[in-house]
Amino acid sequence: MAQVTTYRGAFIDGEWVAGDGEEITVTNPDTGEAVGSVSAATPDQIDLAVASARRAFESWRRTTVLERVEICRRAYDICMERAEEIAVLITRETGKTIRESREEMVEYTADHFRRAAEDVLRHEGKVLPSTQGMNRKRILIVQEPVGVVAAVSPWNFPVDIAGIPIVYGLAYGCTTVWKPSELSPLCAEAFMDVLHDAGFPPGTANLVHGRGDVGQALVGHEGVDSVVFTGSIETGEKVARAAGLKNRVLELGGNGPQIVLADADLDAAVEGAIMGCFYLAGQVCTAAERVLVHRDVHEAFVQRLVERTKQLRVGDPLAEETDMGPMCHRGTLERTRAHIEDAVANGAEVVVGGTSNGMYHDPTVLTGVTNTMRIAREETFGPVAPIMAFDSLDEALEIANSTEFGLTASVFTKSLNDAWTAAEELRHGTVHINESTNYWDQMAPFGGAKKSGSGRELAGWIADALTETKQITFDLT
């Protein structure tokens, strides 16, 4: 019998309270068994959470930077102590492999506390000279905490992604209300415990559970000053409408191209595709959703990719040796199947994989993919490597730029000229040269071009969403 966990509900003003809304059951994608059930917050409880954050903001923004840094440092230690325990929760709720969940907790989430503590200590203002009058004015530029930050996050990096606005927000002097995905509420509660036990005062970090209606009410709430949303383009558009004129960062979907030129190191390009297409069963915004391969090396590349794909160990996500677990969400699994069916109906060929069993979908390699197929035009979010052949760099760049997405692209080549040209021409927020699309550097700005989002996050780059730039003028006459 699987262990069923009782969720505690909303975390408001430093206390756990049961949600008064609908009961939502969380299912383990691997076993199909209930992990537990969670009660959603009602509109009144969302009001209470936002009011608690507003009250706490008035004192939290006045704390010294050293007080906030000290709590962040304690939180880092606690997060590292509990990393394994929370990683297991992530895996039970989402089906991520234990190695992927551990990486999320240790390399990304815990380190947000360390990086935020360092960042906020080095936060600088500016003094500008006057360009008006008799040069007797001085203009001071400071960045102040924006106020109450609403974080709405997806299930695929359920703690790390929300951790960015929450941890950096708290470090900058903001207070927060978080609506995690209804698919991963248990690890969210465990993260709130880390914040509470580290000493972030009551009201500074709040949490409400629920579906999209709760997220929508939160981002549209008049007591919220800034919104940091990560999720699909479709939901992001609703969030943008509900948030109106609030400060905001939107981190949305992708359909990333990996381009393999004729002179590429093919082994490196194949490993890039394995990481890009099959990490987290392809359920990553930065996944390589289109693999564009120069016709001269197409056959060799496909042969090596198929060999490597067959070596992937698919199965129990809690087993150390597993490379790929189940998919998390039935709708996404069905979309993956539909994209493969559409591609095959229009002339593509399944070279390996192509079938599913329960929530598991085989790692799949498709050849003969063309730019009009659904799999090339839409985000699949499944474990598929759709291969498209091309004859010139110009053609590859045209295909790569031809969708509404623009999150991450990668290019494999030994030519400095081609790499540079591609990097300049690709309309994507990030371009990696000789590296998988699924490479994330925690100090670099992360975000999308075109419909893949607006604003940037990670390290100090998220400061724009969490602070208000203020001009203060001194007249010295």
Question: Known catalytic residues?
Answer: 251, 285
DSSP-assigned letter for residue 312: -
Site for ligand NDP in 440-459 (CB under 6 A): 448, 453
Q: Which residues contact 155 (CB under 8 A, 6 or more apart)?
A: 93, 94, 181, 183, 184, 328, 329
Site for ligand NDP in 145-164 (CB under 6 A): 152-156, 161
Closer residue to ligand NDP in complex, CB, 183/369: 183
Closer residue to ligand NDP in complex, CB, 163/448: 448
Q: At its nearest, how many Å lie between ligand NDP and the CB of residue 36?
A: 15
Q: Of the candidates 324, 327, 322, 325, which has an alpha carbon nearest to the alpha carbon of residue 337? A: 327
Among 61, 99, 137, 211, binds ligand NDP (CB under 6 A): 211
CA–chain centroid gap for 364, Å, is 24
Closer residue to ligand NDP in complex, CB, 71/162: 162
Distance CA 18, CA 21 (A): 9
Q: Does 169 bind ligand NDP (CB under 6 A)?
A: no
Q: At its nearest, how many Å lie between ligand NDP and the CB of residue 236?
A: 7
**CA distances in angstroms from 191 to 26, 109, 158, 187, listed in the order given:** 17, 10, 10, 6
Site for ligand NDP in 262-321 (CB under 6 A): 285
Residue 185 near residue 155, CB atoms below 8 Å: no
**CA distances in angstroms from 45 to 10, 135, 189, 210, 217, listed in the order given:** 8, 53, 17, 11, 11
Q: Does 239 bind ligand NDP (CB under 6 A)?
A: yes
Among 19, 36, 163, 215, binds ligand NDP (CB under 6 A): 215
Q: At its nearest, how many Å lie between ligand NDP and the CB of residue 8?
A: 18
Contact pattern for ligand NDP over residues 400 through 439, marking x by CB under 6 A: -------x--------------------------------
Strand order in the sheet with 23-27: 5-6, 34-39, 23-27
Q: Which residues contact 28 (CB under 8 A, 6 or more apart)?
A: 2, 34, 35, 92, 93, 95
Token couple for 438:
């699924």
Among 238, 298, 374, 450, binds ligand NDP (CB under 6 A): 238
Stretch touching ligand NDP by CB under 6 A, among 85-93, 207-215, 311-319, 419-427? 207-215
Stretch touching ligand NDP by CB under 6 A, among 69-77, 213-221, 409-417, 434-442? 213-221
Token couple for 421:
């040209």
Phi, psi of 349 (to 5 degrees): -125, 135
Q: Does 379 bind ligand NDP (CB under 6 A)?
A: yes
Q: At its nearest, how many Å lie between ligand NDP and the CB of residue 70?
A: 30
Q: Which residues contact 129 (CB under 8 A, 6 or more apart)?
A: 135, 138, 139
Q: At its nearest, how many Å lie between ligand NDP and the CB of residue 318?
A: 22
Element (H, E) at 250: strand 247-251
Q: Does 235 bind ligand NDP (CB under 6 A)?
A: yes
Q: Does 230 bind ligand NDP (CB under 6 A)?
A: yes
Count of residues that bind ligand NDP according to CB under 6 A? 31
Q: Of the candidates 221, 105, 245, 223, which has an alpha carbon nearest to the alpha carbon of residue 174? A: 223
Phi, psi of 367 (to 5 degrees): -115, 170
Closer residue to ligand NDP in complex, CB, 161/302: 161
Q: Which residues would be at the binding site for ligand NDP (CB under 6 A)?
A: 152-156, 161, 179, 181-183, 211-212, 215-216, 219, 230-232, 235, 238-239, 251-254, 285, 379, 381, 407, 448, 453
